[in-house]
Structure 1
Amino acid sequence: MLANAHTAAIYRSIVGGLGTIIVLVGLALVPLPGPGWLIVIIGLFIISSEFHWAQRLLHFVRVNVERWTHWIMAQPLWVRWTVGAVTAAFVGIIVWLTLRLTGLPDWVPDLRVFDLIGLH
């Protein structure tokens, strides 16, 4: 805890603001492939250094991620493969939709496969 109450309030505001920005960026990235949830958790970790509600939320997330991990690992191999395939299909659809809406970047070569999947 900082000795000066004014400095402590400013510090707390900066930590809260920075953590909130990181959480919001992570949430925006969640539907895209990549570390969206990891960025959200990092933002919560930053906020939790100053706010008790964020500590409780981070604990809730950690407990439920551990539960999910234990549950999925206890399932037969076909269930794990099915969950993986559904997740991969979801990510593929999101990537396709994103590229469909934004277009292919200029550096992507002009391949016939893009015509076949509706990206040209």
Structure 2
Amino acid sequence: MNTTYRVALGGFGGLVLIAGLTMVPYPGPGWLIVFAGLGLLATEFAWAHRVNTFAKHHYHRWMRWIARQHPVVKLAVMTATCAIVLVTLWLMGAFSLVGGWLGLRWGWLRSPLLIG
């Protein structure tokens, strides 16, 4: 029974962790979900506790570093984050989908990864 519980918890915690990692560059609770997934895994797996501690430490370190930076550096980080979000939305076909709703059939909206 213990093995079944650990496998189920590992699977669920892993899915939560992957979902959180996917959401990190987007506005919203990406890091919170990453830490929740690691927290779930840490209840049964020592490696997850170590990764969770490491990740929280470096997340807080990064946020303190950003807070100390000149507004130009903050703007550059925000611009890079925005570029990552826009590129991933384009690659996933979101622009083509919304363009289709609006009747726009522009070729550059289509993702190079989607066929059809």
TM-score category by the smaller chain?
A: 0.7 to 0.9
1:109 aligns with one of 102, 111, 116:
102
Based on CA coordinates, which of the two structures has the bigger radius of gyration? 1
Q: Which residue of 2 aligns with 1:64?
A: 58
Q: 5+ unaligned residues in a row in structure 1: which ranges?
A: 1-6
Separation of aligned partners in 2, 1:20 and 1:109: 37
Q: TM-score, normalised by structure 1?
A: 0.71
Amino acid at match of 2:34: V
Amino acid paired to 1:76 = H
- CA separation in 2, counterparts of 1:31 and 1:73? 19
Distance apart, 1:17 and its partner CA: 2.1
Q: What percent of counterpart residues are identical?
A: 33
In structure 2, what is the equivalent of residue 95 of structure 1? 89
The runs of 5 or more residues in structure 2 that have no matched partner are: 111-116
Does structure 1 residue 9 correspond to structure 2 residue 3? yes
- Is residue 54 from structure 1 mapped to residue 44 from structure 2 by the alignment? no
* Alignment coverage as a number of residue pairs: 109
After alignment, is 35-44 or 79-88 more displaced? 35-44
Instruction: Report the Cα distance in structure 2 between the residues aligned to 1:50 and 1:107, rounded to whole angstroms.
Output: 46
TM normalised by structure 2 equals 0.73
